[in-house]
Structure 1
Amino acid sequence: MNETQNQRSKDSLDYRIRIASLNRHQSIHSQVMHINNGDEKSSINYAMSFTKGLEHNPETGLVQNAETCEALIDAINGGEISPFHAIDVPTAEGKRRLWEAPTAGFVFDVQGPDAQEVTMAPPPGLGSSELTFEMAEVYELAVLRDTALNKFSELSDEIAGPCERLNKLSYAMRGFCGRPRLTAKNACGDKVLTPGTVFRGSSPGVGIGPYLSCFMLMGGGNTKSSVESGLINYGAQTINQKVPKASDKNFMLEFDEWVAVQNGYSRNNTPKTGTGNYEENSGELKLTFIKTPRDLATYVHFDALYQAYLNACLILLSQKESQDFAPFDSNFVNLSGEFPNSRAGGFALFGGPHILSLVTEVATRALKAVRYQKFQVHRRLRPEVLAARIAKSKNEAFKAAVGGAASTNFENMKADLSDTLAKINELFHTEDLLPMAFAEGSPMHPSYGAGHATVAGACVTVLKAFFDTNAQLARKGESVCFVKPEIAERDNWQPVKIVATDNDDTLTIEDSDEVITLEAELNKLAANISIGRNMGGVHFFSDYYDSLRMGEEIALGILKDQAESYPYDAFTLSVKTFDGDEKLITRS
Structure 2
Amino acid sequence: MLNKFIESKVASTEKDNNIVRSRNVQNNKIEKNETCENNTSKKEKSDENLKLNKSCDIGPLTPIQCSEKAYNIRTDAAGFQKDLPMPGHPCNGDSGLYPNKIANYSKALPHNELGEVNMSAYNIWLKALTTGNPEMFENIPLGGVRKFANPQGAYAFDLEGPNSHHLTMPVPPNFSSAWMASEMAEDYWRALTRDVPFIEYNTNSLTDEAAYDMSKFSDYRGPKHNGMVTTETLFRGNTLGDLVGPYISQFLCQNVPFGSKTLVQQYRTTVAGKDYMTSYNEWLNIENGVLPSSSGVFDPKPRYIRNGRDLGEWVHGDFTYQTILNACLILLSFGEKALCSENPYLCSKTQTGFITFGAAYILDLIGKSARIALESAWFQKFLVHRRLRPEEFGGRVHNKLIGDASYPINSELLKCKAISKVFNKYGTYLLPMAYPEGSPTHTSYPAGHACIAGAGVTMLKAFFNEDFIIPNSVVASADGLSLIPYSGKPLTIGGELNKLGSNLSLGRDTAGVHWRSDGIEGLKIGEAVAIGILHDFKKTYNEDFKGFCFTKFDGNTIRV
TM-score normalized by the length of structure 1: 0.82
- Per the TM alignment, residue 502 of structure 1 is displaced from its structure 2 partner at its CA by 4.8
Partners of 1:505 and 1:47 in 2: CA distance: 44
Higher share of residues assigned helix: 2
The residue number in structure 1 matching 2:443 is 446
- Correspondence 1:301 to 2:308: no
Question: CA-atom RMSD, angstroms?
Answer: 1.9
Q: How does 1:142-221 map to 2 (within 5 A)?
A: 142-153=191-202, 155-172=203-220, 180-185=221-226, 191-219=227-255
- Per the TM alignment, residue 413 of structure 1 is displaced from its structure 2 partner at its CA by 5.5
Partners of 2:64 and 2:179 in 1: CA distance: 59
- Correspondence 1:114 to 2:176: no
- Correspondence 1:278 to 2:319: no
Query: Residue by residue, what CA displacement relative to the aligned partner does 1:241-299 show, whole Å, maximum 9, x if unpaired?
Result: 11213012100111110011001112397xxxxx671123xxxxx21111110000000
Q: 1:250 touches 1:438 (CA, 8 Å); kept in 2? A: yes
Partners of 1:74 and 1:387 in 2: CA distance: 27
Secondary structure of the residue that 1:182 maps to in structure 2?
coil
Partners of 1:276 and 1:414 in 2: CA distance: 29
The residue number in structure 2 matching 1:493 is none
Change (3 A) 1:81 1:235: farther
Q: 2:237 touches 2:502 (CA, 8 Å); kept in 1? A: yes
- Correspondence 1:249 to 2:274: yes
Give the counterpart of 2:154 among 77, 80, 105.
105
Give the counterpart of 1:331 among 331, 342, 346.
342
Partners of 2:483 and 2:401 in 1: CA distance: 50
- Per the TM alignment, residue 504 of structure 1 is displaced from its structure 2 partner at its CA by 5.2
The residue number in structure 1 matching 2:390 is 383
- Per the TM alignment, residue 183 of structure 1 is displaced from its structure 2 partner at its CA by 1.2
Partners of 1:538 and 1:99 in 2: CA distance: 16
Change (3 A) 1:89 1:583: same
Structure 2 letter corresponding to 1:152: Y
The residue number in structure 2 matching 1:222 is none
Structure 1 letter corresponding to 2:313: T
Partners of 2:480 and 2:237 in 1: CA distance: 27
Structure 2 letter corresponding to 1:39: D
Give the counterpart of 1:37 among 78, 82, 92.
92
Q: How does 1:115-134 map to 2 (within 5 A)?
A: 115-134=164-183
Query: Residue by residue, what CA displacement relative to the aligned partner does 1:338-359 show, whole Å, maximum 9, x if unpaired?
Result: 33x5201110011111111111
Partners of 1:541 and 1:90 in 2: CA distance: 28
Q: 2:438 touches 2:513 (CA, 8 Å); kept in 1? A: yes
Partners of 2:507 and 2:147 in 1: CA distance: 23
Give the counterpart of 2:511 among 531, 536, 561.
536
The residue number in structure 2 matching 1:565 is 540
- Correspondence 1:371 to 2:378: yes
Q: 1:55 touches 1:263 (CA, 8 Å); kept in 2? A: yes
How many residues are paired up? 501
Give the counterpart of 2:494 among 497, 519, 522.
519
- Per the TM alignment, residue 234 of structure 1 is displaced from its structure 2 partner at its CA by 1.8
The residue number in structure 2 matching 1:501 is 477
Query: Residue by residue, what CA displacement relative to the aligned partner does 1:429-460 show, whole Å, maximum 9, x if unpaired?
Result: 23210000000000000100110001111000
- Long gaps (5+) in structure 2: 1-49, 55-60
- Per the TM alignment, residue 12 of structure 1 is displaced from its structure 2 partner at its CA by 1.2
Partners of 1:215 and 1:342 in 2: CA distance: 31
- Per the TM alignment, residue 470 of structure 1 is displaced from its structure 2 partner at its CA by 0.3
- Per the TM alignment, residue 24 of structure 1 is displaced from its structure 2 partner at its CA by 1.8
Q: How does 1:369-518 map to 2 (within 5 A)?
A: 369-394=376-401, 398-399=405-406, 407=407, 409-410=408-409, 412=411, 415-417=414-416, 419-426=417-424, 428-474=425-471, 480=472, 497-502=473-478, 506-512=482-488, 514-518=489-493
Give the counterpart of 1:7 among 41, 57, 65.
65
Q: 2:268 touches 2:298 (CA, 8 Å); kept in 1? A: yes
Query: Residue by residue, what CA displacement relative to the aligned partner does 1:316-344 show, whole Å, maximum 9, x if unpaired?
Result: 11222xx33xx211012x33xx33x5201
- Per the TM alignment, residue 547 of structure 1 is displaced from its structure 2 partner at its CA by 0.9
Change (3 A) 1:552 1:146: same
> Bigger shift: 37-46 or 234-243?
234-243
The residue number in structure 2 matching 1:79 is 132
Change (3 A) 1:82 1:267: farther
Secondary structure of the residue that 1:392 maps to in structure 2?
helix
The residue number in structure 2 matching 1:484 is none
- Per the TM alignment, residue 90 of structure 1 is displaced from its structure 2 partner at its CA by 2.8
Change (3 A) 1:455 1:276: closer
Partners of 1:351 and 1:108 in 2: CA distance: 28
Larger Rg: 2
The residue number in structure 1 matching 2:332 is 317
Partners of 2:296 and 2:161 in 1: CA distance: 45
Partners of 2:149 and 2:123 in 1: CA distance: 18
Partners of 1:414 and 1:391 in 2: CA distance: 12
- Per the TM alignment, residue 568 of structure 1 is displaced from its structure 2 partner at its CA by 5.1
Give the counterpart of 1:51 among 103, 106, 109.
106
Partners of 1:140 and 1:499 in 2: CA distance: 23
- Correspondence 1:292 to 2:307: yes
**Overall identity of the aligned pairs, in %:** 33
Structure 2 letter corresponding to 1:33: G
